[in-house]
Amino acid sequence: MKPVKVEFLFDFGSPNAYLCHKLIPAIEARTGAHFEYVPILLGGLFKLANNRSPAEAFAAIPNKRAYENLEMQRFITQYGLTRFKFNPFFPVNTLKIMRGACAAQRLGCLAAYVDVVYPAMWEDGKNMDDVAVIAATLSAGGLDVAKIFELSQDPQVKDMLLKNTQHAHDRGAFGSPSFLVGDQLWFGKDRLRDVEEEVVRVALA
């Protein structure tokens, strides 16, 4: 089978994107695919797509909110993602850590950065909008805090995040987690199985 690239449009603020992140290594192992993590700003994408977060969109629909929570718990149970803990600071302004993701990508350490920030957000319940908390978290994870912080303020890095977000919208995305195999888009953690099937189809084509 030929190798297939899957673009994973992610923002650390999405709990469902975290759940997908935990399952991606197994999909890569089964299929030989490579998931390319593409940092986007979810709030910016919502504005471009005239979309809202589920928490906001379903605020006045208690049964829908209850079902969304039930569906998430079923997913967690099904895949044994028991370390997940809903962040008490949700919704977290993720601008700083998403710019940090772009900086880490420039520095060649995005994978390590993601593996440090995701648990901080969705296992340890940290306030990842707080600069001191971010710095301590990255330092504890062995990352170069000074370099990441400095590069995060670079106009080109800031522009990179904006361009990623605009490009995601231009290709049809309206939220996260979103996945692209070529020009084919899938949205949501419940579409991971479809993404894997498409990877296998493309690899065998």
Percent with pLDDT over 70 in the chain: 100
Q: How many Å is the Cα radius of gyration of the chain?
A: 17
Contact 104, 149 (CB under 8 A): no
pLDDT at position 56: 85
Rounded mean pLDDT, 140-149: 98
DSSP one-letter code for 188: S
* CA gap 161, 166 in Å, rounded: 9
* CA gap 163, 170 in Å, rounded: 10
Residue 151 pLDDT > 90, yes or no?
yes
Nearest C-alpha neighbor of 161 from the set 95, 205, 112: 95
Confidence of residue 26 (pLDDT cuts 50, 70, 90): very high
Residue 165 pLDDT > 80, yes or no?
yes
Rounded mean pLDDT, 49-62: 87
pLDDT at position 5: 97
Percent with pLDDT over 90 in the chain: 93
pLDDT at position 55: 80
User: Which pairing describes strands 34-39 and 178-181: parallel, antiparallel, or unpaired?
Assistant: unpaired
Contact 37, 9 (CB under 8 A): no
Confidence of residue 59 (pLDDT cuts 50, 70, 90): confident
Q: pTM of this prediction?
A: 0.95
Determine the CATH number of domain 5-51+87-204: 3.40.30.10
